[in-house]
């Protein structure tokens, strides 16, 4: 299955517009869209949604996300992956990296892991 991204509600919507402009086949949703968890959903619930729907979470949450992932895995759950962006990197640089990842990754390559961008 192709990589699909769920963007944290705190990320600039320009990430999605630039991702789909660069790769129209890429599935990118943002928390709060109609078919994903609503804004304000707690991180543990977002991880369960990502697991169930096979989306990689893209977030800027470097503080609590590692703990949420540890708890998620301790409950015998899994996740396609979490990418934590570097807020000091430009949107364009991050988008470029997310496109490269989406186009060049193996299936399940990031399962149950947090990757800090840039890789």
Please report, for the domain that includes residue 40, its CATH number.
3.40.50
What's the per-residue H, E or C state across 17-58?
HHHHHHCCCCEEEECCCCCCCCCCCCHHHHHHHHHHHCCEEE
Total number of domains constituting the chain: 1
Q: Domain range for residue 90? A: 4-116
d(CA 3, CA 12): 20
d(CA 50, CA 109): 15
25-81 pLDDT per residue, tens: 999 999 999 999 999 999 999 999 999 999 999 999 989 999 999 999 999 999 999
d(CA 67, CA 73): 10
pTM for this model (two decimals) = 0.96
């Amino acid at each position: 299955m192709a990589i699909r991204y769920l963007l944290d509600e705190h990320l600039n919507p320009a990430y999605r517009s630039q991702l789909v402009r660069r790769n129209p086949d890429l599935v990118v949703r943002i928390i709060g869209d109609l078919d994903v968890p609503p804004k304000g959903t707690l991180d543990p619930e977002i991880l369960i949604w990502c697991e169930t729907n096979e989306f990689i979470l893209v977030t800027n949450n470097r503080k609590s996300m590692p703990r949420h992932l540890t708890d998620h895995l301790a409950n015998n759950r899994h996740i396609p992956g979490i990418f934590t962006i570097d807020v000091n990197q430009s949107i364009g640089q991050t988008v470029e990296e997310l496109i490269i990842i989406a186009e060049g990754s193996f299936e399940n390559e990031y399962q149950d892991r947090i990757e800090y961008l840039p890789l």
